[in-house]
Amino acid sequence: MQTFTQLTSTVMPLPVNNIDTDQIIPARYLKVLDKASVAEGLFADWRYLSDGSPNPDFVLNQPLYQGAQVLLAGNNFGSGSSREHAPWALTGSGFRCVISTGFADIFNNNALKNGLLPLVVDESFFQQLLEKVQSNPKTEVTVNLENQTVLVEENNLSFEFEINPFAKKCLISGQDQLEYILSFEDKIIQFEQQTS
Amino acid sequence: MKPSSPKPLTLLDKIWNEHVVTQEADSPAILYIDLHLVHEVTSPQAFAGLRGRGLKVRRPDRTVATMDHSTPTINIDKPELLDAMARAQLQQLRDNCAENKVTLHELGSKNHGIVHVIAPEMGLVKPGMTIVCGDSHTATHGAFGCLAFGIGTSEVEHVLASQCLLQNKPKSYEVRVEGELQPGVGAKDIILALIAEIGTEGGTGFVFEYTGSTIQSLSMEERMTICNMSIEGGARAGLIAPDETTYAYLKERPNALQGQAWEDQVQQWETYHTDPGAKFDKTIFINASELQPMVTYGTNPGMGVFINSTVPDPAAEYQAEKRQSLQKSLTYMDLKAGTVMEGHPIQVVFLGSCTNARISDLRSAAQLLRGRKIADGVRMLVVPGSQQVKQQAEAEGLDQLFLAAGAEWREAGCSMCIAMNGDQLQPGQYAISTSNRNFEGRQGKGGRTFLASPLTAAASALTGKVTDPRKFL
Ligand code: SF4
């Protein structure tokens, strides 16, 4: 897994609540057998017009926000299906962090396993950051995972976020979670013997 | 001195405690998984990961696969008609299962169907188990008093390799439902009402336990409908403590134990309930006798109302994001605030999905359609949840009844619930659907979904409009 320590980047605003995984990656893009080819379906129904050309009104297609590695999205991001194709589509498109006031559980888990940081902020920070990036798309944030802070330098705006300590450790060290589980194989065997 | 009585536990506590293999400080628990269900869409990358590590499935005997999401519901004997990607995905699952000696319920075979319909049917789901699947509606199986939840593909790989998952313990949320349901109101209406009340993020971080006299009065199939949509309320799982209804259902399953062995098993299952005095982290109360048939108007399952109510007005939302989100939904749905839902035209009716495609759902819709015809210009798709449901329905003549009413009768699968197999809405069409998600484009790009019960779907098919089923009862 790609590690995550610190990131400075511009921010792409998508202030819509309840963006579900069917919006992040519509089901017709789920027939693939790999992870890499999922990215072209990111936000497909919003991003492309009916003739398949890019929708110039959608933020992902706006030149001002190109290259952003941080997505700022409305509350309850990633609700709906368990498809891990959602974080794959985001990381495949260059995103390393999603900032929101809340994430759906399964999306949160899936993101963490792909080096994508789901960062929860409060309503007030969300609104202030949104205003900044909408009025000045060049606004940069610095996310520091070790200190658990997100900082908007030129405005002196900052927020201390919470993250589960194990998830933090895995992101920083790139710990492979399956390896971690398998390091307890003797206990798994013991458990199976006791319960069978 | 009297020994102090043990601390009262919730059903969640009990199942959780029994499955923790180990838990290190500051780390999630390693939780043992009793049953792993697999389907074609969320597993290919997990098997590939396993192969990359030189590992095999650890417990093929605890792993069961089916193909349901991208499978056709017509011409299942003509795989050449499927698109190349779907065909490759199905073949990949066959290869992965063969290589790892995992049982696969192949398209068209006796136990084939939607993963969440077939597992209980085959008697694989039992009280006290932990069950996972790379599919959010795994919550369905909680109807039997097991901890069942959806996982992502990385976690599918973890379970394939180790039969375990890293998990933080969720909090418990009691959903107490009391009172007698009015005729024409059922399980689907209860769950849609709950989600409308708490919102799609209301249960985030929790496991619901449904309790109360109304829940106890429901059949196993109705309980599955409720638990199925726990995820739409943000909870990863829903639980219902097992009782006589559960045991009677399980007794009928293939390979059920007999005689004393059965009695002993039931005795053990009876321990799976929340102890008196145990504390839930949160509780909500629903009065079932006040409920009416529900229908959704928007683009998430929390946007539901009583069928004779109106579409809410975004202007009444004081919070900007909420106002904009509601406005965005109504624009997509092309609905005006203040419109009465009942009477809104529909072009398609979908009776299917892991929420409502069991035999009782089909019977309930059939009861309204008997001797009647669906409205001109309406397309109604009836897609049984499994081959077994299909056979049963055909034995009862329901297929003929649906066909005579003007509906299409299909093979088992997910079909228009997720629209991956060609069964889909056309842009702009309105559908009334017994499935679980009304997200933008869920049932076909540009399609618009009203979620409702099988009864409401059938009544609406007859009139071509959103219709209160009580008019036909
Ligand atoms: S029927 Fe729908 S919700 Fe159920 S498993 Fe299939 S796609 Fe998912």
Residues B259 and B310 in one domain: no
For A4, the 3-state DSSP assignment is coil
Residues of A in contact with B22 (CB under 8 A): 184, 187
User: Ligand 1 pocket: which of B39, B135, B231, B451 to mutate (most atoms <8 Å of CB)?
Assistant: B135
The alpha carbon of residue A153 is apart from the nearest alpha carbon of chain B, in Å, by: 26
**Has residue B5 got a pLDDT over 90?**
no
Residues B197 and B275 in one domain: yes
**Has residue A107 got a pLDDT over 60?**
yes
User: Ligand 1 pocket: which of B114, B138, B383 to mutate (most atoms <8 Å of CB)?
Assistant: B114
pLDDT tens profile B225-279: 999 999 999 999 999 999 999 999 999 999 999 999 999 999 999 999 999 999 9
Sign of CA dihedral B434, B436, B438, B444: negative
Q: Is residue B244 part of a domain?
A: yes
Q: What is the pLDDT of residue B450?
A: 98
**CB-side neighbour CA atoms (13 Å) of A187:** 16
Question: Looking at this predicted complex, what is its ipTM?
Answer: 0.96
Which CATH number belongs to the domain containing residue B23 in this structure? 3.30.499.10
Q: Helices marked H in A43-84 — which ranges?
A: 44-47
Q: What is the dihedral of CA B99, B102, B107, B112, to 10 degrees?
A: 180
Last residue of a domain, one of B167, B196, B228: B167
Protein residues whose CB sits closer than 6 Å to any atom of ligand 1: B 68-69, 114, 116, 135, 137, 353-354, 414, 417-418, 435-436
The partner residue sitting opposite A45, judged by closest CB among B134, B163, B440, is B440
- The mean per-residue pLDDT over the stretch A59-87 comes to 97
**Has residue B2 got a pLDDT over 60?**
no
Distance CA A122, CA A110 (A): 22
Question: Which of the 8 DSSP states describes residue B126?
Answer: -
Residues B317 and B465 in one domain: yes
Q: At what angle do helices B359-369 and B454-463 cross, to 10 degrees?
A: 30
Domain boundary assignment for chain A: 6-195
User: Ligand 1 pocket: which of B40, B353, B355, B438 to mutate (most atoms <8 Å of CB)?
Assistant: B353
Residues B116 and B175 in one domain: no
Q: What is the pLDDT of residue B29?
A: 98
State CA B350 to chain mean position distance.
Answer: 15
C-alpha distance from residue B341 to each of B24, B282, B291, B319, B331 (Å): 53, 32, 16, 24, 15
Residue percentage of chain B with pLDDT more than 90: 96
Query: From the CA atom positions of chain B, what is the Rg in Å?
Result: 22
Residues of B in contact with A35 (CB under 8 A): 45
Q: What is the pLDDT of residue A153?
A: 79
Residues B332 and B383 in one domain: yes
Fold classified for A6-195: Aconitase; domain 4 (3.20.19)
- The mean per-residue pLDDT over the stretch A67-84 comes to 97
**Has residue A155 got a pLDDT over 80?**
no
Residue percentage of chain A with pLDDT more than 90: 96
For the full predicted model, state whether its pTM sits above 0.95: yes
**For residue A3, which amino acid is it?**
T
Furthest C-alpha separation in chain B: 78
Distance CA B161, CA B204 (A): 28
Residue B149 is part of which domain span? 11-167
Residues B264 and B136 in one domain: no
What are residue B472's DSSP bridge partners? Answer: none
Q: What is the pLDDT of residue B225?
A: 98
| Beta-carbon separation of B41 and A83 below 8 A | yes
Q: Which tokens belong to B115?
A: 């993963």
Question: Mutation test of the interface with chain B: which of A178, A183, A187, A190, choosing the one with the most B Cβ atoms within 10 A?
Answer: A178
**Has residue B4 got a pLDDT over 80?**
no
Q: Which A residues in the span 8-37 are in contact with B, Cβ-Cβ below 8 Å?
A: 15-18, 20, 22-23, 26-28, 30-35
**Has residue A5 got a pLDDT over 70?**
yes
**Contact in structure between B443 and B350 (CB atoms under 8 Å):** yes
The band of B319, judged by pLDDT with boundaries at 50, 70 and 90, is: confident
| Beta-carbon separation of A184 and B21 below 8 A | yes
Distance CA A43, CA A95 (A): 13
The partner residue sitting opposite B88, judged by closest CB among A33, A82, A104, is A33
Distance CA B131, CA B123 (A): 13
pLDDT tens profile B72-123: 999 999 888 889 999 999 999 999 999 999 999 999 999 999 999 999 999 9
Pairs from A161-170 (Cβ < 8 Å, separation ≥ 24): A161/A119, A161/A120, A161/A121, A162/A120, A163/A119, A164/B28, A164/B168, A165/B26, A166/B26, A166/B27, A166/B28, A166/B166, A167/A112, A170/A1, A170/A112
C-alpha distance from residue B399 to each of A125, B98, B107, B348, B412 (Å): 57, 34, 20, 18, 13
Last residue of a domain, one of B141, B167, B193: B167
Q: Is residue B5 part of a domain?
A: no
Residues B317 and B342 in one domain: yes
Residues B283 and B319 in one domain: no
**Contact in structure between B71 and B87 (CB atoms under 8 Å):** no
- The mean per-residue pLDDT over the stretch B313-321 comes to 90
Residues of B in contact with A113 (CB under 8 A): 152, 154-155
Q: Is residue B368 part of a domain?
A: yes
C-alpha of residue B417 to centroid of ligand 1, in Å? 6
Q: Write out the H or E segment, with its range, that includes residue B176.
A: strand B171-178
- Judged by a CB distance cut-off of 8 A, whether residue A124 touches chain B is no
| Beta-carbon separation of A82 and B300 below 8 A | no
Number of domains in chain B: 3
Sign of CA dihedral B251, B254, B103, B231: negative
C-alpha of residue B398 to centroid of ligand 1, in Å? 23
**Has residue A105 got a pLDDT over 80?**
yes
Q: Which tokens belong to B282?
A: 């949160």
Last residue of a domain, one of B103, B134, B167: B167
- The mean per-residue pLDDT over the stretch A13-42 comes to 95
Contacts of A12 (CB under 8 A, 6+ apart): A59, A60, A65, A68, A70, A71, A72, A133
For residue B355, the ligand 1 atom closest to its alpha carbon is 4
- Judged by a CB distance cut-off of 8 A, whether residue A40 touches chain B is no
Q: What is the pLDDT of residue B321?
A: 81
For residue B417, the ligand 1 atom closest to its alpha carbon is 2
Question: Which of the 8 DSSP states describes residue B277?
Answer: T
**For residue B108, which amino acid is it?**
G
Residues of B in contact with A82 (CB under 8 A): 42, 134-136, 150-152
Q: What is the pLDDT of residue A1?
A: 82
- The mean per-residue pLDDT over the stretch B415-439 comes to 97
Q: Is residue B74 part of a domain?
A: yes
Residues B61 and B124 in one domain: yes
| Backbone φ, ψ for residue B455 (5° rounding) | -65, -45
C-alpha of residue A53 to centroid of ligand 1, in Å? 30
Q: Is residue B414 part of a domain?
A: yes
- Judged by a CB distance cut-off of 8 A, whether residue A182 touches chain B is yes
The alpha carbon of residue B89 is apart from the nearest alpha carbon of chain A, in Å, by: 6
Q: Is residue B238 part of a domain?
A: yes
pLDDT tens profile B329-384: 999 999 999 999 999 999 999 999 999 999 999 999 999 999 999 999 999 999 99
Residues of B in contact with A28 (CB under 8 A): 419-420, 445
**For residue A97, which amino acid is it?**
C
The partner residue sitting opposite A30, judged by closest CB among B151, B236, B420, is B420
pLDDT tens profile A114-147: 999 999 999 999 999 999 999 999 999 999 999 9
Residues B178 and B95 in one domain: no
The band of B3, judged by pLDDT with boundaries at 50, 70 and 90, is: low
| Beta-carbon separation of B42 and A82 below 8 A | yes
Which CATH number belongs to the domain containing residue B237 in this structure? 3.40.1060.10
C-alpha of residue B415 to centroid of ligand 1, in Å? 8
Strand order in the sheet with B103-105: B103-105, B63-66, B35-38, B130-133, B147-150
**For residue B233, which amino acid is it?**
G
C-alpha of residue A43 to centroid of ligand 1, in Å? 21
State CA B214 to chain mean position distance.
Answer: 19
**Has residue B1 got a pLDDT over 60?**
no
